[in-house]
Structure 1
Amino acid sequence: MYAFWDANNPNSFAAYTTSHLVALALLAAVVVLLFVCRRQLRQSSAKRRTVSLIIVSILVLSEVTLNVWYVQQSMYSIRHSLPLELCSISLYLCVAMLLLRSRFLFQIVYFIGIGGALQALLTPVLGYAYPHYRFLEFFAAHIAIIAAVLYMVWAENMRPTFRSILFTMGFLNLLLLIVIPVNTYTGANYMFLARKPATSSLLDYLGPYPWYLLSMEAAAFVLFIFLYLPFAVSASGKQKKLSLP
């Protein structure tokens, strides 16, 4: 138990080891399960409510226990512990989105939730390997973020639009007005706006600081277009069917 919770655990995380691959396989299983069960969820408000509350519980439990861990291990710091990472912001928005069944929040979280959480899962910035608490919390929270978004698509039948991309880009740039001053005055690196992470990530291919910040904008826009494509193709197909004599 001590090793499971201890912040000084020497068992450090390594990407694409067996435990990492198992976590990614769990993500795939969750996605497939939600897709397979989508019709059952649409037909039953009780089932939707149960699945929604399960995802909310995982998200809330992850965030609450993380902050307890920070405090109990004397690690809480405004430089590292504020919920200003993109995935932390997505987590809070996901909880509100699920509880309120908010189409407005969905328009943002669809893009930043999937985009940010998937990047985090594929290239984790994580210092603890399985079975440490931080390993389990990290993957549970990020998988739940993706599950929350796909639940809204497949169970609540919500769809993003092209305008959602522009709205999300505006939201991200408004976040910069908050996060950059926090980074400047505290020495933090929230959203990796002050420097690149020490571990390998997509940012390694986007140029040196500060130019990679502009590259991040372009990469985010391209990623959002990619995430929107399935809905654009689907909408185009429906329009063609309606136009047939």
Structure 2
Amino acid sequence: MLPAERAFVPYGPSHLVLIGLIVAGAIGFGVVGRRVRDPVRLARGFTAVMVAFLLPMQVWFLLPGQWDLAHSLPLQLCDLAWVVAACALWTRRRWACALTYYWGLTLTPQAMITPALRAPDFPSPQFLDFWGEHLLVVWAAVLLTWGIGVRPDWWGYRVSVAVTACWGLLMLGFNTWAGTDYGFVNRKPDNPSLLDLFGGWPWYLAVEVAVGMAAWALLTWPWTRRHGMAKSC
């Protein structure tokens, strides 16, 4: 058990500060991205910061003293999301931009609203890694979409649904073999979450897919109705 005075507490002071930081940063990147003369340089600079901060954190979790099969492997969606976001910012590949948009604006915020984090509070490595991944992915999605002008389309929607479904199936198989629960596809997290509204296993997975696809479609539709759009993702 973590000492109460050191443990991260959902909606405690640090959590509330971070929520405010997420909102402020998203607004800032959306505004600054439109005003800078060279948004590509801004995006690549942001990528460098992201990699310089998060890659050493990932290596730290793989060290012998920190290794834990259930938590150390970079298999959570947020672990993949920051790598994909870095690729999208650097290359603006359509598939990477699409995944960053959908993951960064739906799944990542959900994890921040109901964080499954049992760790010491700031400035522990677990705290910094968890919140660093989530904040940077959200900001990357905002910078790409509202700052640089990379827009989602139905091709990106289909790719994102397919990639996410394949990841979920792979995690289901790996978790069954290894006795882990990456992605919470084999059981719900212990902390309260949106999944609690979707029934028991495996039914909550089907509901999650249906709700997710509908939400992503709603996030795609307004952009596809606009004429003279900027680059699609």
Give the TM-score normalised by the residue count of structure 1: 0.83
1:191 paired to 2:186: no
Alpha-carbon distance, 1:13 to partner: 1.6
Pair 1:63–1:119, CA change in 2 (3 A): farther
Output one character per residue of 1:127-168: Cα deviation in whole Å (capped at 9) or x when no partner: 122332322222122110011111111333111013322221
Rounded to whole Å, the distance in 2 between the matches of 1:59 and 1:70 is 16
Identify unmatched segments of 5+ residues in structure 1: 1-6, 240-245
Structure 2 counterparts to residues 3-18 of structure 1, below 5 A: 11-18=6-13
Structure 2 counterpart of 1:243: none
- Cα contact 2:43–2:89 (8 A) shared by 1: no
Please say if residues 59 and 141 of structure 1, whose CA atoms lie closer than 8 Å, have aligned partners that are also in contact: no
- Separation in structure 2 between the aligned mates of residue 195 and residue 127 of structure 1, nearest angstrom: 17
Q: Does 1:145 align with 2:137?
A: yes
User: What secondary structure, in the 3-state scheme, does the structure 2 residue paired with 1:37 have?
Assistant: helix
1:220 aligned to which of 212, 225, 229: 212
- 1:8 deviates by 6.4
User: Match of 2:112?
Assistant: 121
List 4+ stretches of structure 1 deviating above 6 A: none
- Residues 60 and 9 of structure 1, relative CA distance in 2, 3 Å threshold: farther
Percent sequence identity is 26
Cα distance in 2, alignment partners of residues 157 and 203 from structure 1: 33
1:106 maps onto 2:97 in alignment: yes
Q: Is the 8 A contact 2:33 2:42 kept in 1?
A: no
Deviation digits for residues 50-101 of structure 1 (CA, Å, limit 9, x no counterpart):
44323442344224224314526x2313332111111111111111122222
- More off after superposition, 191-200 vs 91-100: 91-100
Which sections of structure 2, spanning at least 5 residues, go unmatched?
229-233
The CA RMSD measured in Å over matched residues stands at: 2.2
How many residues are paired up? Answer: 226
Whole-Å separation in 2 of the counterparts to 1:111 and 1:84: 18
**Which of 1 and 2 has greater Rg?**
1
CA distance in 2, matches of 1:18, 1:8: 17
CA contact (8 A) 2:100 2:140 kept: no
User: What are the within-5 Å matches in structure 2 for residues 22-61 of structure 1?
Assistant: 22-41=17-36, 44-45=37-38, 48-61=40-53
Counterpart code for 2:101: Y
Matched, 1:84 2:84: no
User: What is the alpha-carbon distance in structure 2 between the residues aligned to residue 230 and residue 187 of structure 1?
Assistant: 42
Letter in 1 for 2:198: L
Provide the rounded CA distance (Å) in 1 between the counterparts of 2:116 and 2:91: 31
Question: Structure 2 CA distance, aligned partners of 1:64 and 1:114?
Answer: 25
Cα pair distance change 1:13/1:22, threshold 3 Å: same
Name the CA distance, whole Å, in 2 between partners of 1:34 and 1:173: 30
Contact 1:55–1:144 (CA under 8 A) maintained in structure 2? no
Deviates more, 1:104-113 or 1:200-209: 104-113
